[in-house]
A = this chain, B = another copy of it.
């Protein structure tokens, strides 16, 4: 019998097409997680999850991550109140990335800078042909 808990090695065909959650954690024990707004599709943030953060997210419906800088489990909004209520969690083909659609509780801000989304700057080509960043006023 194969143990089918999180993190168990399984064959690649099963990992890609099967019904078994078997995340392919990197050397640091992490998968990447992208969060989009459940209503308008804006990418709110990108972060990382270890097995514990992923399990808690699935169990509680509130997004948990692993902070690489603080090296610990981090419930999004634990201090700010801007908890992310997860609508849908998905995993990608090779199970090294998670996509959450969510709604932001509290003041509706996902980024530590106070912006709604972390992606508040567009990359554009400047007059000299070099890329420059342009702030988006609507985010």
A16 touches B (CB below 8 Å)? yes
B122 pairs with A93, CB closer than 8 A: no
Residue on B with the closest CB to A55? B131
Type the 1/0 row for A37-59, where 1 means its CB is closer than 8 Å to any CB of B.
00011110110000000010011
A130 pairs with B5, CB closer than 8 A: yes
A111 pairs with B123, CB closer than 8 A: no
Query: Which residues on A are within 8 Å of B, measured CB to CB?
Result: 4-6, 16-21, 32, 34, 36, 40-43, 45-46, 55, 58-59, 88-93, 97-99, 111-113, 115, 118-123, 125, 130-136
5 A–B contacts from the bound complex (CB under 8 Å):
A19-B132, A89-B122, A90-B120, A92-B111, A93-B113
